[in-house]
Amino acid sequence: MFPVILAFALFLSVSPSSDQEPKEVTSELRISAEGIDHVKRYEGLRLKTYVGLDNPTIGYGHTGYATEYSQITEEMADDLLHKDLAHAQKHVRLLVSVPVTQKQFDALVSFVYNVGIGAFKRSTLLKKLNKGNYAQAATELMRWVHVKGVVIQGLVKRRQSEYDWFTN
């Protein structure tokens, strides 16, 4: 019996505390209501098509349905947002191989929604995260603030918010 108690005590002494490592299983997470509100706040709502940085955009940053003459309702914008977020969530769950907290998941979904799945898949952020380097992965968020070589203050604010969510 003594070796079992000793082994259990040894296990407890080397196990990470709950503050050090997330315990959520990524495959079970869904973006929270706060996460959705975060995306809405940073994307903004546009019911008529506008040309964003590269693509015609409508609703909450949706690019797939937008044409130069599109107009939608707020309900349609919400529907498009939820479909787009489902797609982003699916890829975060597929690509992230380490456990994350709800806030980390929300931050990652917001990030993927904004930069795209391909960029996330190729990112150093994902590589560091999947190696368990949570702090280094969070720092990588702050590198994604440029468009065509120019720092965009809106992206600086968004990434700071995602960083704060990811690290708290």
Instruction: Report the CATH number that the domain containing residue 125 is assigned in CATH.
Output: 1.10.530.40
Write out the residue range of the structural domain in which residue 36 sits.
20-167
- Kindly state whether residue 1 falls inside one of the protein's structural domains: no
The structure tokens listed for 57 are 């955009």
What span, in angstroms and rounded, lies between the C-alpha atoms of 109 and 29? 11
Catalytic option among 21, 34, 43, 74: 43
158 in any annotated domain? yes
pLDDT tens series, the chain, 168 aa: 433 333 333 333 333 333 345 556 567 899 999 999 999 999 999 999 988 767 888 999 998 766 755 889 999 999 999 999 999 999 999 999 999 999 999 999 999 999 999 999 999 999 999 999 999 999 999 999 999 899 999 999 999 999 999 999
C-alpha 92/C-alpha 137 separation (Å) is: 14
pTM of the predicted structure, to 2 decimals: 0.83
Is 24 catalytic? The answer is no
- Is residue 39, in this structure, part of any structural domain at all? yes
- Type of residue found at 92: V
Domain count, the chain: 1
